[in-house]
Amino acid sequence: MKKVIRIFLKVLMWVGISLVGLIALFYVVYAFFPKGPRDLMTWTDLEQTPRTLVTAQKEAAVTGTPWATEAAMSILQKEGNAYDASVAALLVLNVTNGVHSSFPCEAPVIIYNAADGTVHSYIGAGKAPAAATLESFLARGWKTIPGTNIWAQLVPASPDVMIALLKDYGTLSFAEVAAPAIQIAREGFPATRVLLVDMGKFTAIGRFAYQVLWPTNGDYFFQHEWWRPLRVGDRTMYPDMANTLQSMADAETAVTSGGGSRLEGLQAVRDIFYKGDIAQEITNWETQKKGLITSDDLANYNGGWETPISGSYGDYTFYTNNGWTQGAVGPMALQILEGIDLKSMGHNSPEYIHTVVQAIELAMSDRDAYIGDPAFVKVPWDVLMSKEYATQRREKMTGSAFGPLPAPGVVTTSTGEIVPHGTDNPQTALIAINPPGITIGQDTTQLAVRDSTGNVVVITPSDFPWTPMVPNSGINLGNRMNQFRLDPNSPDVLAAGKRPRITPHAMIVFKNGKFFMGYSTPGGDMQSQALIQVFLNMEIFGMNVQDAISAPRFYTISAPSSFAPNESNPGTIRLESDLYDAAAAGLETLGYKLQKDPKWDMDFGGVGAIVLRPDGGMDVGADPRWETWAMGN
């Protein structure tokens, strides 16, 4: 036995020596590669930089990057409307913030149509391919869906979203609204710190590992030079994406120049993506990489308009997307808080934070138990969004931290039957360890646009470059199936053709029956929490929208993460540093575990909001935590 141990230790020693030698050799070779900036552009970074309130009288836009905001405003000034401008901004976000909202991305939409005063939601989350069955995933030994595997890719949503907006409400051609994105992708833009959060903080070994694991991704994001670190201001160009968008525009032009109508031209754009040459590129790649998406999945994909979910708080009504998102968490939590004297507690006092956190955690418990894709799950909205149910949940609030999430509420039908609820428990995932130097990022971006006639479009685009990109196309199908569960008792359990309950959602708010605000944010499970805090800062504490966005935030992480492996930290609140210094001691006495984060930390959201003032003008706010930028005229 001792001899076996000696042999084992000797082998282990030589393996260690060999590994150290390989790393040393790597860095010796790496030392000879060029590492300077590619082509520095003039750029003043906007992240963690204070914002001033933007006021406007005619039109306004706020998006996740200044280029997308400028694109939206340029379309509005060229006689396009909010629907046209929102598509232009979405495409520019796909270019300038593609690590958080890749093309073709998830794109939940909520609109206010000024002509008839109605609010509509568009289904902007992709579907699981027909081959994506629970049994097939469990057979691979997975307990949750790994976010770095090609099997985490959904059938893409955003091309369908864009064409629906343009066909049903827009006025311009796809070629016109895609022009800003194509130009920026070809000519380049300066890399920002937000881009570098995912791609710029790689170690040399991390960049090499990323290039080896996902060579098409590495070529795209590192511009065929994985050895060269990214720097703020580096000219960043994506010609492959420019070519793909141009091919879509050319498909439209071929139809309209031949006498076809605008609508026929837009249909050609959709068809080339879901049925034509681009669809063929995608399916060829899926076949090569043993992915799940087929030509039938693409050809049969559809989104569609739906009636939004709504809830109220005082004079305000909140409209958001259905159960394929977590959007209902915001109005559910606010209805629980309704009637509580929050103002007397003081802004961001320990008592206030505790109270708001408990309402959020009660809503998240119900989210995890009842909410999923309504095409597969009968969500009891009539109960969940009722004032009576909110009162029942309010009674579950306690004087100290819940710790683990409280139990979901008991939902009964009109005949007194109890509605069974599912489970959404964290599990240990069997997933590959991240390559050295790589941290898998998870985030989103946002846009909101209002035109001169009062139309408003809010979109929350998202997806991440952690699965193999289609070569020479700029197409990144993301990893959003990672937000499904593999627990058959969960309302969010994977099924073929189903949509996961994604974290991104969009929100429109009415006051006294009239449009008041459109807003959204990145931030994963923080999204609803950030939007709740911004609204309460305005309504309870009288802040203008910019001050409400810039104010310090808190973030409960008690609920299982919506991203696999669905980890939870019961009874834990993250606090931005200035808030931590003021409230930590009081929260600890209430039983909370606390985490101190930097001021204006990206994880705490990147809210953009357009507020209609009583005089008909607009206030527009942008979050200093991101590159979020507001403009108006």
Give me the helices (H) in 169-294, please: 174-187, 193-199, 204-213, 215-221, 239-256, 262-274, 277-288
Range with the poorest average pLDDT among 21-30, 75-84, 270-279, 480-489: 21-30
CA 111 to chain centre: 18
pLDDT tens readout for residues 461-491: 999 888 999 999 999 999 999 999 999 999 9
Closest Cα partner for 625 from 461, 460, 443, 479? 443
Residue 437 has pLDDT above 50, yes or no: no
Q: What is the pLDDT of residue 8?
A: 62
Q: What is the pLDDT of residue 533?
A: 99
Local confidence band at 201 (pLDDT 50, 70, 90 cut-offs): low
Residue 149 has pLDDT above 80, yes or no: yes
Residue 393 has pLDDT above 60, yes or no: yes
Only one residue has tokens 């091919």, namely: 247
Residue 368 has pLDDT above 60, yes or no: yes
Local confidence band at 4 (pLDDT 50, 70, 90 cut-offs): low
Strands (E), 403-531: 447-450, 456-459, 507-511, 514-520
CA 573 to chain centre: 21
Q: What is the pLDDT of residue 427?
A: 37
Q: What is the pLDDT of residue 413?
A: 74
Could you tell me the maximum CA-CA distance found in the chain, to the nearest angstrom? Answer: 87
Terminal-residue alpha carbon distance, the chain: 81
Range with the poorest average pLDDT among 40-44, 264-268, 334-338: 40-44
Domain residue extents for the chain:
49-230+239-500+508-633
State both tokens at 322: 């259905």
Highest mean pLDDT among 166-175, 418-427, 440-449: 166-175
Q: How many residues are present in the chain?
A: 633
Strands (E), 354-470: 447-450, 456-459
Residue 11 has pLDDT above 80, yes or no: no
Question: Which whole number is the average pLDDT over 289-315?
Answer: 98
More confident residue, 138 or 438: 138
The amino acid at 152:
A
Range with the poorest average pLDDT among 334-348, 406-420, 509-523, 578-592: 406-420
Question: Which whole number is the average pLDDT over 162-167?
Answer: 98
Local confidence band at 423 (pLDDT 50, 70, 90 cut-offs): low
Instruction: For residue 234, give Cα distances in angstroms to 104, 253, 344, 629.
Output: 24, 34, 49, 20
Q: Which residues have CB under 8 Å from 417's CB, separation 6+?
A: none
Q: Compute the C-alpha angle 13/15/16, nearest 5°.
A: 65
More confident residue, 187 or 9: 187
**C-alpha radius of gyration, the chain, whole number:** 24
pLDDT tens readout for residues 504-534: 999 999 999 999 999 999 999 999 999 999 9
Range with the poorest average pLDDT among 28-37, 236-245, 484-493: 28-37
Q: Compute the C-alpha angle 622/538/106, nearest 5°.
A: 45
Local confidence band at 439 (pLDDT 50, 70, 90 cut-offs): very low
Q: What is the pLDDT of residue 438?
A: 43
As a whole number of angstroms, the distance between CA 525 and CA 387 comes to 24
Q: What is the DSSP letter of 61?
A: E
Question: Which whole number is the average pLDDT over 369-386?
Answer: 97
Local confidence band at 337 (pLDDT 50, 70, 90 cut-offs): very high
Question: Which whole number is the average pLDDT over 105-128?
Answer: 98
Q: Which residues have CB under 8 Å from 490's CB, separation 6+?
A: 368, 372, 422, 423, 424
Closest Cα partner for 198 from 553, 440, 7? 440
Residue 21 has pLDDT above 70, yes or no: no
Closest Cα partner for 628 from 41, 45, 183, 40? 45
Local confidence band at 602 (pLDDT 50, 70, 90 cut-offs): very high
Local confidence band at 38 (pLDDT 50, 70, 90 cut-offs): confident
As a whole number of angstroms, the distance between CA 243 and CA 457 comes to 27
Residue 218 has pLDDT above 60, yes or no: yes
Bridge partners (DSSP) of residue 520 are 608
As a whole number of angstroms, the distance between CA 394 and CA 402 comes to 13
Closest Cα partner for 84 from 422, 442, 453? 453
Local confidence band at 25 (pLDDT 50, 70, 90 cut-offs): low
Question: Which whole number is the average pLDDT over 191-207?
Answer: 79
Range with the poorest average pLDDT among 137-141, 435-439, 573-577: 435-439
State both tokens at 477: 């199908």
Closest Cα partner for 536 from 525, 526, 547, 520? 547
Instruction: For residue 218, give Cα distances in angstroms to 113, 187, 224.
Output: 42, 20, 7
Q: What is the pLDDT of residue 16?
A: 63
Percent of the chain past pLDDT 70, that is, above it, reads 91
Question: Which whole number is the average pLDDT over 275-290?
Answer: 98
Local confidence band at 190 (pLDDT 50, 70, 90 cut-offs): very high
Local confidence band at 118 (pLDDT 50, 70, 90 cut-offs): very high
Question: Which whole number is the average pLDDT over 365-390?
Answer: 97
**What is the SS3 assignment for 312?**
strand
Q: Is the peptide bond before 565 cis (omega within 30 degrees of 0)?
A: yes
Residue 419 has pLDDT above 90, yes or no: no
Q: What is the pLDDT of residue 373?
A: 98
> Quick check: 262 and 270 in contact, CB under 8 A?
no
Q: Which residues have CB under 8 Å from 268's CB, separation 6+?
A: 251, 252, 254, 255, 260
Residue 34 has pLDDT above 80, yes or no: no
Angle between helices 174-187 and 158-168 (to 10 degrees): 140
Q: Which residues have CB under 8 Å from 51's CB, separation 6+?
A: 546, 549, 550, 621, 622, 623, 624, 628, 630
Bridge partners (DSSP) of residue 119 are 112
As a whole number of angstroms, the distance between CA 444 and CA 603 comes to 10
Question: Which whole number is the average pLDDT over 370-391?
Answer: 97
